Amino acid sequence: MLKNLKLAPRFTILLSLVFISSIILTGVILSQAVHHKAKTEVADQGSLIMAMMISVRDYTSTNINPLLKSRLETDPNFIRETVPAFSAITVFQNFIKQPKYKDFYYKEAVINPTNPQDEANDFEKKIVKQFWNQSDLPEVSNFTERSGKQVFYTARPIVIKDKSCLRCHSIPALAPKSQLAKYGSKNGFGWKLNDIVGIQIVYVPSEEVFSIAHRYLSLVMGIFIAIFALVILLINFLLKRTVVQPIRPMARLAQKISNEQFSADNYEEAEIESLEKVAKKTDELGQLARLFQQMAHAIYAREQDFAQQLQQLRNKSEQGQGYTPTSNNRIAYFKALQQKAQTIRNRMKGTN
């Protein structure tokens, strides 16, 4: 199909194919890059919040708990501020009062919690079991749905490493009376040192981040398509001006020579003169134009010389001057030469 097209349309089709292939390849690469960047962004947000909650828990265990420890036995009301999980959740609730973080969610999901509000749901229980099966796994993160929206979660195991935790969670007899009075003696007990009792999990909304990323992707792809389209138009314009237009006079001249339409009239002279602009160039097209000029002049001179000689012989033959067998043979020779040239041209036309 392309072989039957002219040079300019052929280049347009080839460039368009390259353009479409480049668009597809670039779209795939940019899409993967944008998706990776968006995922990294939400993962970083989740890791940052998780680190903040761990710091709150550590501060409560190290600084707050010792100060209030003595009051757990004497105070009739259970002091929740001594529980690291309560401190972390309270700080997080204040944190999400900011509109920017209102859709974030943090939970300390436990299999056997003291407070029923902290009980792990089915999804969170699966993550806890995953940590049970892979005790050396430090963190789990992935995408999921929460309340019908896509979120990115980051979860870490809650491991009992501090013996002080066993006072409230080993057996009811060791627990503070205020704790038993508030939560009872059925839940939140039986924990052991180094047990994985639950997970800290942060849910980060990801739909908005990915929506922004996709808008940027569309913008970049639009700019890329516009630039590539302009490049194709520019290449076509330069191709026609620097290659196609200079070749046209040479193609017309070659066609006239092939069809035996090359003569000494003004039109052919104009065709030869049209090559002068191209022949003045120093590039390959200029060199080719100069060769065409030389060829045209040579063919023109040979045809003129051949026609003059043949006309002279005919005049002599008609006037009876110098008519000899030799002259007759020369006329026959020129006619036979002319016929052979015509035969060769016809064969070349048939081959083409």
50-108: per-residue pLDDT in tens?
999 999 999 998 888 888 877 877 787 888 888 889 999 999 999 999 999 999 999 99
pLDDT of residue 270: 57
Q: How confident is the model at residue 323 (pLDDT cuts 50, 70, 90)?
A: very low
What tokens does 272 get? 């030869």
Q: How confident is the model at residue 158 (pLDDT cuts 50, 70, 90)?
A: very high
Query: Which contacts qualify for 333-340: CB closer than 8 Å, 24 or more apart?
Result: 334/306, 334/309, 334/310, 335/310, 338/306, 338/310
Share above pLDDT 70 across residues of the chain, in percent, rounded to a whole number: 75
Contact between 187 and 118 (Cβ < 8 Å): no
Using alpha carbons only, what angle is made at residue 172 by residues 171 and 177, rounded to the nearest 5 degrees?
A: 145
Distance CA 248, CA 112 (A): 88
pLDDT for 13 equals 84
Q: Report pLDDT for 12.
A: 79
pLDDT band at 290 (very low <50, low <70, confident <90, very high): confident
pLDDT value at position 315? 74
Separation in Å, CA 153 to CA 116, 122, 159, 188, 203: 22, 15, 19, 25, 4
- pTM score of the predicted model: 0.65
Name the residue ranges covered by the structural domains of the chain.
14-205, 249-351
**Each residue of 258-289: pLDDT tens digit?**
666 555 454 455 566 666 666 667 777 777 77
The model's pLDDT over 125-146, given as tens digits with 9 standing for 90+, comes to 999 999 999 988 999 999 999 8
Whether 352 shows a pLDDT value over 60: the answer reads no
Tell me the average pLDDT across 220-246. 83
Mean pLDDT score across all residues of the chain? 81
Q: Is the pLDDT of residue 254 over 80?
A: no
